[in-house]
Structure 1
Amino acid sequence: MSPMRASRALAPVVVCISLVVAVGGSLGSPLITAVATQYGVSLAAAQWTLTIALLAGAVATPVLGRLGSGPRRRGVVLVTLGIVLTGSVLTVLPLPFAFLLAGRAAQGAGLGLTALMMATARDHLDEQHAARTIATLSIASTVGVGVGYPLSGLLADLGGIRAAFALGLVLTAAALVAAVIVLPAAPPRTASRVDIPGVLLLTVALIALLLVISQTALWHEHTALAVAILVFSLVMFAVWTFVELRTDKPLVDVRLLRHPAIAVANLVMLTGGVGMYLLLSLINRYVQTPAAAGYGFGLNTFQAGLVLVPFSVLGFAAGRVMPHLRSRFGARSLLAASTAVVLAAFLLFALARGHLVEPVLAMSILGIGVGSFSAAMPAVILAATPAAETASAMGVNQVVRSVGFSMGSALGGLILAAHTTAVFPSEGGYGAAAWTGAVTTTVTLLIVAVLYPKRT
């Protein structure tokens, strides 16, 4: 392919890669029940098909961000896609459950590629085109959920879980071919040495943190152990920060993260992520509850996935508009407006969910808020980040978002479990969870209004 044609193809290819890994990472969630049935394991064990992908993505993201900051970016991307492809093969083959988990972990590693795609766009596209592409990349996970859920549900209904996982295999193979043809080499820079102590410390800290917030059963059955793991993870994060500040070539430039705009943006991403994923999981679970429980609509996996389609479509549309609005209103105003939209979705679901159209409308409003929020965030981070640190800085933000999403999912599960006396939670549990999310989102809005640097 000629250099000019390759340049024109670059934007769609990097978006395609991010979308593919997002779809692959989301495949575990709608298939948990089917996996438990087919493999003869408990629902708690089947839940690991999602948890292990999130854990792998959280660990891989900062590592890939550092590896991809130097001249090896193209090689890092291709090798990672190869790992994802290998994992996709393991999910499709009729092998024991342990191989499925290994395959899901390999697929989860691909979640770390989004930050590298942002760095690629920033290095090889003009400023305006790069801004639009990066905004689109930031909402790839949003679109990926809306694409992955209904498709995987439909394929599972038609051909079983291996047919659903085959979706990830086909998409990853296509993404790898496109990457080989189109992805350019990174600009000449000094190769970044991988900070092995930093990798090990951050890996232990992230695994402990995501484990304790994703396994809600721990808090019910072994509360003391859950608290101990949480404290351990926080201590490890403190040790990691101490080590990074004293390392010449750290895994993450912690000093850069102390910039006021970046520090507040990551805090906003954490608290905002809790609220956004909390509502997403609440609505998805609510619409699948059978009407015999006294509420809910008894939708199957595929039908529930269709509820996410307006979430993704409107989120994508909102994200595409954000780069055009930033020059007029500024990042601070856009983050505040996006958070307010998420708050409106919470209020709607808290007050009205008796008819299917109301949760669907709440999900649609949530999509607008999540899409615009996600698209505004990279501009905040990159405005204070040197080009050479793009992948690393955005990788950290992606990890913060993953932690926030996991906390939101866990929070919803804990609240609903506290309101469950039989098989299903009481409807009041959904109201309590919705109002809790509304409070969390209000806190996020206050952080933006009070702490965010006024000049942005």
Structure 2
Amino acid sequence: MSTTGRRAHHQVTFAVLATGVIAFALLQSLVTPVLPTLEAALGTNQSDVTWVLTAYLLSASISTPVLGRLGDMRGKKRMFVLALSALALGCLIAALATDLTVMIIARVVQGIGGGVLPLAFGIIRDEFPREKVAGAVGAISALIAVGAGVGLVVAGPIVDALSYHWLFWLPLIVLVLAALAAQFLVPESPVRTAGSINWPAALLLSAWLVALLLALSQAPSWGWGSASVLGLLAAAVVLAVLWVVVESRSAQPLIDMRMMRVRAVWATNLVALLFGVAMYAAFAFLPQFLQTPSAAGYGFGSTVTASGLLMLPQTIASFLLGLVSGTLAQRIGSKLVLVIGTLVSAAGYLVFALAHDSQTEVLIGSTVMGAGFGLAFAAMSNLIVAAVEPSQTGVASGMNANIRTIGGSIGAAVMASVVTAGAGPTGVPPESGYTHGFLMLTGALVLAALAALLIPAVRRDPQTHAEPDVELRHPEAALVAGGTLVGDEPE
């Protein structure tokens, strides 16, 4: 129950959840366009300053499934407040940081806030009226892309008007208010999963994720064929296999391997991986492309602020399409919405690859890309929530977000290698590097659309056209979700 003795209205709960998710998403991208500023302010170099991003991704990758599981066991509201508090503490440390080491520590603490995503999805499923769940999950999911886009837009003006310290002071204020609101306004969810954290599995999960993301993030500077990168990748494979074995044999797994084998879950996670490859790479390299001086034969020599404004249509389109995604899914199904959203995003990337000589073309590509993001993010989350029982919502949705983060690390690392191939003595990438890079990302999204076709469809209620919570067309899915098997007739 809430501290007021009655359960808060679900719209109040949604407002608090949305605030926390937006703050987390902002902190994912806020530092990306101003890395050169941080490099100078912290007295470091281009290679080392990338750890400001890498440390955040590593921490979020490890913390997201753990907090999701803890939320299912100990209470989602309690863990949501903890995640917001970690984000706030990390912002405080980052705002006071004057050297790289302290900034990296701050970003690790902020990464713990990655748990806000699975916890928000779980609270929505537990607290909202059934007919409101799909729309709320869709809106929260769209806010992830919107928040990340807003971070790219507002970073420049904040640094220009104030300083890089305010990239963290402003979110800190919002996070403190959100944590207080969550404590006093959000009811504690009644759904609990018995058991305890499988710490050996958590350590193995952390180990293989660290090895994988460290190798991928450093491969452009160390070299893809270097002994360090190859050794880390081999270690990641071995540790991942051990993790799967430990989880499979555990009576209380951190990640239920039986759940992960459900076609609706693994196919949606594959889409998330490929989507992450494309999205994070674009967020990292589009500002760099726009800020390249036109003397290089491409780019517009934009300031940090101007390059952010050129990406504003992406943010607006993500938000608007995310709002209607839930309603659209009730009519045509989340699977079809996901396929459409992924192909729309691919079209936006194709525009960037083939037509980027004018700012109008960039605006068109950004708008189309954002529209696809809004549709696909919402649909992915709805498919995951519908595929598992309520007690596993946090872990399943957390792993989906986690896999998207891993995909982002892969995409950013590979994109860096493609873009910088053939760079001259000045270090400025050739235009062909960006063209090939965005074509590669277009291909990743086309593969994501094909992967989405593997997701089993769900039979909708003929009266409401809504998708049921857990009924899936796959025996394992029905077994795990405790749902009722339905036939394989076309929708």
| TM-score when normalising by structure 1 | 0.95
How far apart, in 2, do the equivalents of 1:213 and 1:22 lie? 22
How far apart, in 1, do the equivalents of 2:316 and 2:195 lie? 38
Give runs of aligned pairs for residues 215-364 of structure 1, distance below 5 A. Answer: 215-220=218-223, 223-364=226-367
Q: Are the structure 2 counterparts of residues 57 and 10 from structure 1 closer, same or farther at C-alpha, using a change threshold of 3 Å? A: same
Q: Does 1:442 align with 2:465?
A: no
Q: Does 1:149 align with 2:157?
A: no
Out of 110, 115, 118, the position equivalent to 2:118 is: 115
Q: Does 1:209 align with 2:207?
A: no
What is the aligned length? Answer: 455
Out of 120, 125, 130, the position equivalent to 2:133 is: 130
How far apart, in 2, do the equivalents of 1:270 and 1:190 lie? 27
Offset of residue 267 of structure 1: 0.9
How far apart, in 2, do the equivalents of 1:364 and 1:114 lie? 25
Give runs of aligned pairs for residues 405-416 of structure 1, distance below 5 A. Answer: 405-416=408-419
Q: Are the structure 2 counterparts of residues 344 and 241 from structure 1 closer, same or farther at C-alpha, using a change threshold of 3 Å? A: same
Out of 406, 423, 427, the position equivalent to 1:423 is: 427
In structure 1, runs of 5+ residues without a counterpart are none
CA contact (8 A) 1:72 1:191 kept: no
How far apart, in 2, do the equivalents of 1:455 and 1:181 lie? 37
The C-alpha deviation readout for 1:78-121, integer Å capped at 9, x for no partner, is 22222222211111125433222111111121122111011001
Which residue identity lines up with residue 113 of structure 1 in the other structure? V
SS for the counterpart of 2:250 is coil
Tell which deviates more after alignment, 138-147 or 394-403. Answer: 138-147
How far apart, in 1, do the equivalents of 2:195 and 2:139 lie? 27
Tell which deviates more after alignment, 40-49 or 94-103. Answer: 94-103
Q: Are the structure 2 counterparts of residues 213 and 39 from structure 1 closer, same or farther at C-alpha, using a change threshold of 3 Å? A: same
Out of 41, 63, 66, the position equivalent to 1:60 is: 63
Q: Are the structure 2 counterparts of residues 111 and 224 from structure 1 closer, same or farther at C-alpha, using a change threshold of 3 Å? A: same
SS for the counterpart of 1:319 is helix
Which residue identity lines up with residue 353 of structure 2 in the other structure? A
Offset of residue 311 of structure 1: 0.9
Offset of residue 296 of structure 1: 0.3
SS for the counterpart of 1:68 is helix
Q: Are the structure 2 counterparts of residues 216 and 306 from structure 1 closer, same or farther at C-alpha, using a change threshold of 3 Å? A: farther
Q: Are the structure 2 counterparts of residues 80 and 394 from structure 1 closer, same or farther at C-alpha, using a change threshold of 3 Å? A: same
Equivalent residue number for residue 46 of structure 1 = 49
Tell which deviates more after alignment, 409-418 or 188-197. Answer: 188-197
Out of 192, 198, 201, the position equivalent to 1:189 is: 192
Equivalent residue number for residue 478 of structure 2 = none
CA contact (8 A) 1:269 1:401 kept: yes
How far apart, in 2, do the equivalents of 1:216 and 1:357 lie? 34
Equivalent residue number for residue 26 of structure 1 = 29
Q: Are the structure 2 counterparts of residues 83 and 444 from structure 1 closer, same or farther at C-alpha, using a change threshold of 3 Å? A: closer
Which residue identity lines up with residue 171 of structure 2 in the other structure? G
SS for the counterpart of 2:300 is coil
Offset of residue 307 of structure 1: 2.2
Which residue identity lines up with residue 392 of structure 2 in the other structure? E
| TM-score when normalising by structure 2 | 0.89
More helix by share: 1
In structure 2, runs of 5+ residues without a counterpart are 460-491
CA RMSD, Structure 1 to Structure 2 (Å): 1.8
The C-alpha deviation readout for 1:200-240, integer Å capped at 9, x for no partner, is 00001111111112224345276232122112112211110
Which residue identity lines up with residue 91 of structure 2 in the other structure? S
How far apart, in 1, do the equivalents of 2:159 and 2:310 lie? 17
The C-alpha deviation readout for 1:398-426, integer Å capped at 9, x for no partner, is 11110111211112111011131232111
How far apart, in 2, do the equivalents of 1:184 and 1:376 lie? 26
